[in-house]
Chain A
Amino acid sequence: MRQSWIIAMRELRERVLNKSFLLMLFVGPFLVLTLAYFLVKANDQGKKELTVLIADPGNIMEGVISSKDNASVNYYFVDGYLELDEFKLGKDYQRFDVLIEINEKVLNNKKVFVFYRDFLSSDVKNVIKFNMERRMEEVLVHEFTSLSVDKFREIKQPLNMDFRNLDDPMGIESKTEGWAGLFFGFIIFLFILMFGMSILRGVTREKSNRIVEVLVSVVKPRHLMIGKMLGIALSAIFQLFIWFGVIGAGLWVFQNYIFTEFFISDEYINMQLNEGTDILYGQFGGLHQNEMIDLIYERLNLLVILPVFFIIFIMAYFFYGAFFSLIAAGTGSESDGQQFSIPIIALLLFSLYAGYFSVIYPESDFSNICQFVPFTSPVVLMVKVCQGYPIGSGYLLVVSLLILFLSTLFMLYIASRIFRGGILEYGHTLSFRKIFNWFKAE
């Protein structure tokens, strides 16, 4: 194994010092971050900072509304009636984006009209609604009860209602998590394709420039194959770590500097609610309405998903890498190798389709079978892991991983036998008969 490690280190060094590798090391995650940025923005179309004018002729709100920590919405009061045309066309009102009309009967009819100039996103609507409700709650408590607002809020407990599909009572059929799983599966697919082709090119190039003649005279073909695959795997893992590092840092920047309005701060919670009040997540739904933010920062259990992702990624890489290795060793030319890699790429694409199918129909027989088939399980498993396994079904993940692990070992064994036979043959056309002969050769 020492020789395999030396070969792996050489391979890693060659790849890591390659200019295109260094370029993709940072361009890739920046592309992902850019994509994530636009996805979040697409979920949050509308004006960022709003100036809201509250027309309150009855002075019901007494010119008070808690909004100082929410910089995106600024409230101003006017204590008289305001005609819509005046607000729409009046020079003094052009700086206001929204007009909230509080009628004098609001305490009874609970009806408030909100007029806007430009379309408001659901997030902004929720923020305004939340702020208004909080203030009206204070007024109502004061007007109709002898309780203090603090006491009222202590008594008032929000009911967290979880709506579930009758056919999916465990709530595992969450499409969004599934799509995130498919994204992880796609990363596996992408890296296997990229680095599998690297194995193919690397081995065929070494065959064509005959350096294998020297290498195989020093190391066993099996060790050469493992070393080469390991080196390329290390470069892939290195790239993945950099990708996840840069993406993670980017998401942190998003959270703290770019999409701050989507995140609720502790101070804000304390300001809005009295101390000691239990807070349930659903109560602040209005502040977490961005689906992408919610998915990335809240719903995906990345502490579980990422380790599982790396385990699946490594096994899947070696499983598919074994195919690329044996094809590369067996072919007489690089173009021949590319032809024979088409079925492997087709299988990879099929695994992506199986993953997509699992997002749409997570409990289908097809999806359940594909999670055990090593060709499709890497992508399907990522989808299922992100969707979450129902309680008591976690063993399915263990079984799937075990099958994938054993299949990988088996494929490495097959590939090493064929690699040994084919690596020193040049200029021939690869055929299944040749592959079979190399496999059965002593």
Chain B
Amino acid sequence: MIELCEVSKSYQRHLALNNVSTHIPSGEITGLLGPNGAGKTTLIRIINQMIRPNTGHLKYNGDLLNQAHLKRMGYLPEERGLYKSMTVGDQLLFFCRLRGMSRVDSNKQINYWLDKFEVTNWKHQKIDSLSKGMAQKVQFIAALVHDPEFIIMDEPMSGFDPINVDLIMTELTELKNKGKTILLSTHNMQSVQDTCSHILLLDKGVKLADSTFSDLQQNYQSKEFIVRYRGTKIAFANSLWTDFELVHQEEVKEDLFEAIIAQRGVRSVDDLISNIKGHVSIEFISRKSLNMQEIFLDLVNNVNQNL
């Protein structure tokens, strides 16, 4: 869908994006992750053509990205803003018209989305009479009302209560199922893990990761293991020697314990098995799988340690 080729952007002496190349696959939700100042907003603004890169170029479905493509994009910025003195209906109509839609089509779409979110009665209300959450919902609709094929969501869950977060997540999944391409920038790792099939991780303007979530899980293994055993705790602890460290242990059933073990240095499951074999009876052993939060921290911390 969107291809970035060696894109760099600097603001005076600050390098916001450093030679980033990636591909945002069509019909999927791509999670755009990174700590504050990683370059996410700069990347989004470049895709939106709000700013131009210093070097590199972007392609949209194989064509060089241009102004005409903007009409096919929807954008929910992190910094929300609406005209407070306008009614919800007029506001949405204004954005539709800016995207080149006819008045008739605009009204059809507006009614569809207001109905879908069960907020039709807000249509004639002014924005300044709505609560913050309600205005957020209007902003969310404004990003989608023109039926874009590529949607950029910058922190779409911020400002929403858990019920509405669930609603937004369901909507994003539904949009994905309809074949829309979504770029989701968020700090909510759980939502990334739940919805994103592709991850792009940036830090200090540099691309740290660019793959599917399952690939990331395979590539970035945990340093911890989960072990279930029968035997005595003392015998198990003694078997670890200096190669492993007992992080946590609890009795899950009578005479059945579950322990979390951290490796010291580079150790494999085989090393762990050979250590504890003969001391306790092993019921289950596995390397602990990393969640998105842990992969994120691991990646970012590794980079910072290497600097």
**A residues bordering B, Cβ < 8 Å?**
2-3, 6-7, 10, 14, 206, 209-220, 424, 437, 442
> Would you give the 0/1 interface string for B208-233, flagging 1 where the beta carbon is closer than 8 Å to chain A?
00000000000000000000000000
Given A211-B82, A214-B81, also A10-B94 (CB < 8 A) = yes
Question: Which 3 A-B residue pairings sit nearest by Cβ, starting from the closest?
Answer: A211-B81, A210-B81, A210-B79
Given A214-B75, A218-B98, also A14-B85 (CB < 8 A) = yes
Given A14-B85, A213-B81, also A218-B94 (CB < 8 A) = no
Can you list 12 contacts pairing A with B, beta carbon distance less than 8 Å?
Answer: A2-B100, A210-B81, A212-B81, A213-B81, A214-B75, A214-B142, A217-B50, A218-B75, A218-B98, A424-B50, A437-B12, A442-B54
Instruction: Indicate whether B95 reaches chain A with its CB closer than 8 angstroms.
Output: yes
The answer, among A2, A6, A14, A210, for a CB contact under 8 Å with B80, is A210
- Secondary structure of the B side of the interface? loop
* A214–B83 CB distance below 8 A: no
Instruction: Indicate whether B51 reaches chain A with its CB closer than 8 angstroms.
Output: yes
In Å, the complex CA distance between A442 and B80 comes to 27
- Complex contacts, A14 vs chain B, CB 8 Å: 83, 85-86
| Closest partner residue, chain A, to B45 (CB atom) | A424
The answer, among B49, B54, B75, B83, for a CB contact under 8 Å with A211, is B83
> Would you give the 0/1 interface string for B82-103, flagging 1 where the beta carbon is closer than 8 Å to chain A?
1111100000001101111000
- Complex contacts, B77 vs chain A, CB 8 Å: 210, 213-214, 217
Q: Given A209-B81, A210-B80, A211-B83, 18 more contacts at CB 8 Å?
A: A6-B97, A6-B98, A7-B98, A10-B83, A209-B82, A210-B79, A211-B82, A212-B81, A213-B77, A213-B81, A214-B75, A214-B81, A214-B95, A217-B70, A217-B73, A218-B75, A218-B98, A437-B12
**B residues bordering A, Cβ < 8 Å?**
12, 45, 48-52, 54, 67, 70, 73, 75, 77, 79-86, 94-95, 97-100, 139, 142
- Complex contacts, B139 vs chain A, CB 8 Å: 214
In Å, the complex CA distance between A5 and B254 comes to 76
Least CB distance, B67 to chain A, in whole angstroms: 7
Least CB distance, B134 to chain A, in whole angstroms: 16
Least CB distance, B37 to chain A, in whole angstroms: 15
Least CB distance, B135 to chain A, in whole angstroms: 11
Least CB distance, B87 to chain A, in whole angstroms: 12
Given A14-B83, A210-B80, A214-B77, also A424-B98 (CB < 8 A) = no
In Å, the complex CA distance between A219 and B45 comes to 13
- Complex contacts, B99 vs chain A, CB 8 Å: 218
Residue among B48, B52, B79 having the largest count of chain A Cβ atoms under 10 Å: B79
- Complex contacts, B82 vs chain A, CB 8 Å: 209, 211
| Closest partner residue, chain B, to A421 (CB atom) | B51
Residue among A209, A210, A211, A217 having the largest count of chain B Cβ atoms under 10 Å: A217
Least CB distance, A197 to chain B, in whole angstroms: 18
Residue among B51, B139, B142 having the largest count of chain A Cβ atoms under 10 Å: B51
- Complex contacts, A7 vs chain B, CB 8 Å: 98
* B94–A217 CB distance below 8 A: no
- Complex contacts, B98 vs chain A, CB 8 Å: 3, 6-7, 215, 218-219
Least CB distance, B54 to chain A, in whole angstroms: 8
* A218–B52 CB distance below 8 A: no
Least CB distance, B159 to chain A, in whole angstroms: 13
In Å, the complex CA distance between A206 and B49 comes to 19
In Å, the complex CA distance between A14 and B128 comes to 14
In Å, the complex CA distance between A439 and B255 comes to 74
In Å, the complex CA distance between A136 and B51 comes to 87
- Complex contacts, A206 vs chain B, CB 8 Å: 81
In Å, the complex CA distance between A148 and B45 comes to 94
The answer, among B12, B75, B100, for a CB contact under 8 Å with A217, is B75
- Complex contacts, B51 vs chain A, CB 8 Å: 424
- Complex contacts, B45 vs chain A, CB 8 Å: 424
| Closest partner residue, chain B, to A219 (CB atom) | B98
* A6–B94 CB distance below 8 A: yes
In Å, the complex CA distance between A50 and B50 comes to 76
| Closest partner residue, chain B, to A420 (CB atom) | B51
Least CB distance, A185 to chain B, in whole angstroms: 33
* A217–B81 CB distance below 8 A: no
Least CB distance, B51 to chain A, in whole angstroms: 7
Least CB distance, A110 to chain B, in whole angstroms: 75
Least CB distance, A211 to chain B, in whole angstroms: 3
Least CB distance, B151 to chain A, in whole angstroms: 12
In Å, the complex CA distance between A6 and B70 comes to 17
- Complex contacts, A211 vs chain B, CB 8 Å: 81-83
- Complex contacts, B80 vs chain A, CB 8 Å: 210
- Complex contacts, B95 vs chain A, CB 8 Å: 214, 218
- Complex contacts, A6 vs chain B, CB 8 Å: 94, 97-98
* A213–B79 CB distance below 8 A: yes
Residue among A14, A211, A220 having the largest count of chain B Cβ atoms under 10 Å: A211
| Closest partner residue, chain A, to B74 (CB atom) | A217
Least CB distance, A436 to chain B, in whole angstroms: 11
Least CB distance, B93 to chain A, in whole angstroms: 10
In Å, the complex CA distance between A3 and B67 comes to 12
Least CB distance, A225 to chain B, in whole angstroms: 14
* A217–B48 CB distance below 8 A: yes
Least CB distance, A427 to chain B, in whole angstroms: 11
In Å, the complex CA distance between A412 and B51 comes to 20
In Å, the complex CA distance between A102 and B286 comes to 133
In Å, the complex CA distance between A213 and B51 comes to 11
* A220–B12 CB distance below 8 A: no
Least CB distance, B89 to chain A, in whole angstroms: 13
* A218–B70 CB distance below 8 A: yes
Given A218-B70, A424-B50, A442-B52, also A209-B97 (CB < 8 A) = no
In Å, the complex CA distance between A291 and B83 comes to 50
In Å, the complex CA distance between A219 and B49 comes to 9
- Complex contacts, B54 vs chain A, CB 8 Å: 442
- Complex contacts, B84 vs chain A, CB 8 Å: 209
Least CB distance, A31 to chain B, in whole angstroms: 27
| Closest partner residue, chain B, to A220 (CB atom) | B67
- Complex contacts, A212 vs chain B, CB 8 Å: 81
* A216–B97 CB distance below 8 A: no
| Closest partner residue, chain B, to A224 (CB atom) | B98
In Å, the complex CA distance between A206 and B52 comes to 22
Least CB distance, A334 to chain B, in whole angstroms: 15
Given A209-B84, A437-B12, also A216-B50 (CB < 8 A) = yes
Residue among A2, A6, A437, A442 having the largest count of chain B Cβ atoms under 10 Å: A6
